[in-house]
Homo-oligomer: A and B are copies of this chain.
Amino acid sequence: MTVNETMTDAAESDPLQRLGFLLARHGAVANSRVHHAFETCGLAARQGTTLMLLGTSGSMGQQALAAALEVDPSVLVGILNGLESAGLVERRRDAADRRRHIVAITDEGRCLLAKAQDAVAEVEQGLFADLSPEEITALRGLLAKVRTTPGDPVCTEQ
C-alpha cells in the first residue's frame, strides 16, 4: 500500500475524513479552545500569544514580535495598544536606535500570563484527556514531521 492509498482510502466514504481536512478541523477546534481560554482572562487570542512570547523572551523589538506572531507590523500596533493601555506591557524607545520600540512585559503582565497559561493548560488537558503520555509524545512527533515550513502562508479562513 502506498502513502497515497493510505490517505485516500479512508476518504472514499466521506471526503471530510481526508487527513488534510481532519488536521485542519482538529487544528481549528484547538485554536478555538485556546482562543476561548485567553478570553476568559480578558485577552484577545493574539494578545495572549504575545504575552506568552514576552514571558519567555522578556522583551522584544516590534519587528521580531510581528514576525513571531506572523502578523503585519500595522496589526501588531493594535494588539500592543490594548496590552499597553491595560498595563500588561511597556513600549520603550531603543536608546541605540531611537526608531525602534522595545516591548517588555510588566509585572502585571506576568501575573495575568500565569493565569492565562493555567487556562491554556486546562484546555489542553481537556483536548488530550483521552491520550496517554506516550500518545501525546507520539502526536507531537508526528506533527513535527508534517511538512509545514516556518515561513509558510498560514490562512485561517474556513
Contact = CB atoms under 8 A, between A and B. Distances in A.
Contacts of A139: 19, 23, 139, 142-143
Interface stretch (A58-66, A84-92, A102-110, A128-136): A128-136
24 contacts: A4-B121, A16-B53, A19-B136, A19-B140, A20-B124, A23-B26, A25-B148, A26-B146, A27-B30, A27-B31, A28-B28, A28-B154, A28-B155, A31-B155, A31-B157, A128-B147, A130-B145, A131-B145, A131-B146, A138-B138, A138-B142, A139-B142, A142-B142, A156-B158
A32 interface: yes
Interface residues of A, number: 76
